[in-house]
Amino acid sequence: MTKLMDTAISEIAKLPEPEQDVLAVILLEEIASERRWSESFAKSRDALAKLAEEALAEYTAGRTTPLERQ
């Protein structure tokens, strides 16, 4: 475990149990979300590569326009 994580856990341990549970739920949900995102991204690599090739071909053919800055 990193020093930063160890410090965070030490501080969380000082909180009342209900607050610890809230933080635990947030962390677990974030970990699950990150896992789902990683799995989804891994499954879509071929599709993303194809889209990138198509975008590059359109750019090379001069069929794109620059985005306007706001």
Residue 27 lies in a domain: yes
pLDDT per residue over 13-61, tens digit each?
A: 999 999 999 999 999 999 999 999 999 988 898 998 999 999 999 999 9
Residue 56 lies in a domain: yes
> Per-residue pLDDT for 68 more than 80?
yes
Evaluated on CA atoms 42, 44, 47, 52, the torsion sign reads: negative
CB 43, CB 49: distance < 8 Å: no
Total of domains in the chain: 1
Please indicate, yes or no, if residue 67 is contained in any of the structural domains: no
Domain range holding 31? 17-60
Residue 68 lies in a domain: no
